[in-house]
Amino acid sequence: MQVTQSPNRSFIAPTRWALALVLTLLLGFGLAIRLFDLTDLPLDFHPTRQLFAALKARAMYYQTAPGIPDWKRDITIRQYETEATIEPPILESLVAATYRLTGEHLWIARIYSSIFWILGGVFLFLLARDLLSLDGALVALAIYLFLPYAVIASRSFQPDPLMVMLILLCLWSAVRWNRNGGWGWAVLAGLGGGAAVFVKFTAAFFVAAALLWAVLDRYSLKQALTRLQVWGMALLSILPAAGYLLYGLYFADTLGSQFSGRFFPQMWIDPFFYFRWEGKIALLLGHVGLALALLGLMFLRSRRSQNLLLTLWAAYFIFGMVFDFHISSHDYYSLPLIPIGALSLAGMGQEMLRGLAEAVSGSGWRRAAAHLLLLFVVVMTVWDVRVQMKSVDYRPQEAYWASIGQALDHSASVIALTQDYGYPLVYWGFQKASIWPDYGDLQYRDRAGKSDFASRFQNLTRKKAYFLVTDFNEFQYQPELKDYLYGQYPIYLQGEGFVVFDLTHPLTP
């Protein structure tokens, strides 16, 4: 007689002890791979964004740290004061506070981000268990933890891992409130959502989607407007970020310029915008993974779960259309799609496991073989990511940038065509420099209607003594600049991987 797998029984973890073991292995492997090669420099993933945060954390630390040379303290704090303020520096403040106990170690931020992502995995598992099945929850957790992109991105020094964790807390709490009601879940959902938006404004799309679904799935719009718990969730999710926004716009005057140049509706009619966007998604999920995630929505047996995931996909689409330039050029803007994609893929995964349970029923060795194969997939995925991390050692970069800063004597007036907007030069070389735009920035400026080499060169090099070039690939993309520098200015200094032009003594008057 054929045995049918109960929808409430797990194939992966059929007992509580097995479930505890599987969760321990998944979360343990997930944290361990993120802490592998811990002390390597944060140049493996969007170094500009990571060093932007690192400089802020260092400046906070240097303000009170004893034994820092005055010239280093001055360069670091002046750089911090000139940087744009976008999100509140929560992670930077936490890292700076830790520096006061441990000394300055960049890898501390990697530990915090990794822990945030793992905690987000706990909330994702609890959410998926409510929406799907236990097997579906384990599949969602495994995808969330071990997608290669997720491993690299989730240990980066930027607010996104913390934001994703808080979105998942909000989402799980909203689902619980939708099912059970109660002020406890309402407050937790509101606080989680409010904290997520406070950490990074872009979380608002996903928080709004989660709370709107939770409310309108439970009440009609007219009923919702009369419920105090609904108003409580809304206020808690809005007030923290609204307060920070008002302060930044009208009191500190630090946010006004940050909301310009992010929205280009003309891109909506450009088919290549959608191809670039899909290419960024493919970095996260893969082309096949994206297709399977969307197909996985059809495998969800609960209309309630299906509606929630459709709402989250719709929120991601609206978010991408609003931040059209960044969604098609910055892959980490799509990081919230990883838990959404994991939940969608889990719908298909749980159905596969149900079929597998039936296929191996009554045969102990086949069941054991199936479990070993599933473990093999996880272990080899972790191994592949380890190989990727180990393939490049960025540690020599520290000495390279320090040597350039020393050659320029740290105080020279410099403009630079250099990697990562000059942040490595500032961080390890302690050399402040104005940045000559790269080819991508020039395209961005052209889109905004700002273009003219002669006036650009005159404006950007005014009162500058030297023009530093370290990014020679980018130099080749700008032949007009290259020909002009070699034709008009003498070489002041040249070394391995850099050249410095003397702007104060042009070759022709």
**Boundary-marking domain end, from 365, 388, 411:** 388
> Are the CB atoms for 62 and 76 separated by under 8 Å?
yes
Verify that 289 and 340 share a domain, yes or no. yes
Task: Let me know if residue 3 belongs to a domain.
Answer: no
Give this prediction's pTM. 0.91
Verify that 254 and 134 share a domain, yes or no. yes
- Outline where 181-270 has alpha helix (H): 183-199, 204-218, 221-224, 228-246
Give residue 348's domain range.
16-39+111-388
Verify that 186 and 331 share a domain, yes or no. yes
Which tokens sit at 360? Answer: 């191996």
Task: Let me know if residue 70 belongs to a domain.
Answer: no
Using CA atoms, how far apart are residues 267 and 275, in angstroms rounded to an integer? 12
Using CA atoms, how far apart are residues 457 and 9, in angstroms rounded to an integer? 68
Beta strands 466-469; 491-495: pairing state: unpaired
Tens digits of residue pLDDT in 262-299: 668 888 988 999 999 999 999 999 999 999 999 999 98
Task: Let me know if residue 508 belongs to a domain.
Answer: no
Structure-token match 């290669």, residue found? 148
The amino acid that residue 485 corresponds to is: L
Number of structural domains found in the chain = 2
498: β partners: 495
Percent of the chain with pLDDT over 70: 94
Verify that 284 and 368 share a domain, yes or no. yes
> Are the CB atoms for 102 and 108 separated by under 8 Å?
yes
Using CA atoms, how far apart are residues 428 and 106, in angstroms rounded to an integer? 12
What pLDDT, on a 0 to 100 scale, did the predictor assign at position 360?
Answer: 81
Using CA atoms, how far apart are residues 425 and 427, in angstroms rounded to an integer? 6
Structure-token match 């800063």, residue found? 405
For residue 98, give every residue at least 6 positions away whose Cβ sits within 8 Å of its Cβ, in sequence order, or none. Answer: 108
Verify that 429 and 290 share a domain, yes or no. no
Strand ranges, E, within 324-478: 414-417, 434-435, 466-469
- Measured in degrees and rounded to the nearest 5, phi and psi for residue 490 equal -75, 155
The pLDDT mean for the chain works out to 90
Tens digits of residue pLDDT in 192-228: 999 999 999 999 999 999 999 999 999 999 999 999 9
- Confidence band, pLDDT 50/70/90 cuts, at residue 85: confident
Which tokens sit at 224? Answer: 């919702």
